[in-house]
Amino acid sequence: MNVVVSDPKTRKAYSKKVDSAAVFSGKKVGQEMDLGIIGLEGYSGKITGGSDKEGFPMKWDLEGGSRRLVFISKDVKKGSREKVSRRGNLVSDEIAQLNIKIVKEGKKKLEELLGGVKKEPADGNASVKEQMVKESLENVGKISADEAKNIKGKVKG
């Protein structure tokens, strides 16, 4: 199961893989819980939603853990409804992703516990696409439009 932990203060989200979904089994959307069971000592969070293995989202006001067809008003027109599949608000083994919002912070920062910000690659490790973009930006203004038309494959004439 993939657990997405979001921090409302820093407005960042962190992803954490959990081997067993049994630690969340029986919990409902909107319920607060201690996050020490997934390695976030001192933190507590509120379950805000999730989705199952097929990608169907959980609905907070739909009781149970099964997937059902429900009517949802999507349009501005009065009386316009659409039948869609939604998963119930109970966390089960079918849930693939669970979204949690931090309510109470611990002593350590989330970046330290769940992994820091990705670093930018050095020039030697830059991808081929990034190098091509950098080269093309360097050549802007150096070649006239007539010369660019003569370059095979670059500009159609």
Whether residue 98 has pLDDT greater than 90: yes
The single residue listed with the structure tokens 């093309």 is 136
| Confidence band for 155, pLDDT divided at 50, 70 and 90 | very low
- What integer pLDDT is reported at residue 123 of this predicted model? 53
Q: Measure the CA–CA gap between 76 and 60, rounded to whole angstroms.
A: 22
Mean pLDDT, residues 23-41: 90
Whether residue 121 has pLDDT greater than 60: no
Most confident listed range (23-32, 117-126, 139-148)? 23-32
- What integer pLDDT is reported at residue 120 of this predicted model? 47
The single residue listed with the structure tokens 């997934």 is 38
Whether residue 118 has pLDDT greater than 60: no
The single residue listed with the structure tokens 């820093």 is 10
Which letter does DSSP use for residue 89 in this model? S
The pTM of this model reads: 0.67
Residue with the larger pLDDT of the pair 128 and 122: 128
The alpha helices in the chain, defined as continuous H runs, are: 110-114, 128-138, 145-150
Average per-residue pLDDT for the chain: 82
Q: What order do you get walking across the sheet with 32-34 strand by strand? A: 12-17, 2-7, 95-104, 44-52, 32-34
Whether residue 152 has pLDDT greater than 70: no
